[in-house]
């Protein structure tokens, strides 16, 4: 197991620089291997998050194993490779969409049929992404475009997810939102530890460098990191991946760099059985 999996993240929020709130967090237990049916998935936190408005982020979804994701197509979800265990047929995942309240009776529940896990995950190439095919296209699903170039891999990013009110607590019932600013690869690597082996072309760092307080964490791994394009539309630039602790100064969140894998994601999505 790559050492990064010791710090795999599940989204959460602490206090945001921009008035929204963001994450507090924890780490994955050594040796635990997240499974598609939920075994081994840790549940942790959103601290002080700002509630999202109904319909504000219509593309975000909740996965039954405790991860997040987004509609890549109306029948395919983009999430993190570390949220699933392998490529192959899988009917154990339930995807909740169309609601900010996980207990909303109007929320749409859809089962999975197949999972594709990036073959380069846990290699020197990186690639913490996976696709989940659903049993049917979700009526009215809003898809989230992904970045295909590095044009949007900087600036201020948005993150959304269901987490807990405190580190180690239960997940939130309602969707929360936050913002995190970009941190350069060089600065991120200077954090030392696992950050020293950051894969520059496959991972993006974000957070408040000197004081912390903004971060993603356990509770919604695989959720999207987004920003606005030139038309003020959301585009996905990252996938919640890992970090050392949560919201710590000089220990930022790390996200899979979607633009690097855009072609591989598109190819895999087009060939799902």
So which residues are the catalytic ones?
A: 82, 128, 221
Selection from 175, 223, 227 nearest residue 53 by Cα? 175
Q: Which residues contact 217 (CB under 8 A, 6 or more apart)?
A: 9, 10, 11, 12, 13, 23, 24, 25, 26, 44, 45, 163, 167, 243, 246, 247, 253
As a whole number of angstroms, the distance between CA 84 and CA 41 comes to: 10
Q: Which residues contact 168 (CB under 8 A, 6 or more apart)?
A: 26, 44, 45
Taking residue 181's Cβ as centre, other Cβ atoms within 10 Å add up to: 18
As a whole number of angstroms, the distance between CA 170 and CA 231 comes to: 37
3-state secondary structure 72-97: EECCEEEECHHHCCCCEECCCCEEEE
DSSP summary character for residue 22? -
Selection from 162, 157, 158 nearest residue 176 by Cα? 162
DSSP labels, 126-155: ----EEEEESSPPTTPPP--B-SSGGGSSS
C-alpha to C-alpha distances, 186 to 111, 198, 201, 257, nearest whole angstrom? 41, 9, 12, 15
**In the numeric block, which tokens belong to residue 25?**
């967090």
């Amino acid at each position: 197991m790559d050492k990064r999996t010791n710090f795999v993240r599940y989204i959460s929020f602490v206090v945001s620089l921009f008035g929204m709130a963001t994450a507090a967090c924890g780490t994955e237990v050594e040796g635990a291997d997240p499974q598609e049916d939920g075994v081994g998935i840790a549940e942790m936190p959103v601290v002080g998050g700002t509630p999202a408005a109904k319909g504000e982020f219509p593309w975000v979804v909740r996965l039954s194993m405790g991860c997040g994701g987004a509609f890549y197509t109306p029948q395919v979800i983009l999430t993190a490779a570390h949220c699933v265990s392998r490529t192959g047929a899988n009917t154990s995942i339930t995807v909740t969409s169309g609601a900010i309240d996980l207990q909303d009776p109007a929320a749409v529940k859809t089962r999975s049929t197949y999972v594709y896990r990036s073959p380069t995950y846990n290699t020197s190439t990186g690639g913490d992404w996976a696709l989940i095919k659903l049993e049917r296209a979700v009526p009215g699903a809003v898809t989230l475009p992904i970045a295909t170039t590095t044009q949007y891999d900087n600036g201020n990013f948005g993150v959304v997810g269901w987490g807990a009110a405190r580190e180690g607590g239960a997940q939130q019932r309602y969707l929360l939102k936050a913002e995190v600013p970009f941190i350069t690869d060089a600065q991120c690597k200077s954090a030392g530890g696992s950050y020293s082996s950051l894969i520059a072309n496959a991972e993006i760092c974000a957070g408040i460098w000197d004081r912390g307080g903004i971060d993603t964490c356990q509770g919604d791994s695989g959720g999207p990191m987004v920003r606005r394009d030139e038309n003020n539309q959301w585009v996905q630039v990252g996938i919640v991946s890992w970090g050392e602790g949560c919201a710590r100064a000089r220990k930022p969140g790390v996200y899979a760099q979607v633009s690097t894998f855009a072609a591989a994601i598109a190819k895999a999505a087009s060939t799902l059985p």
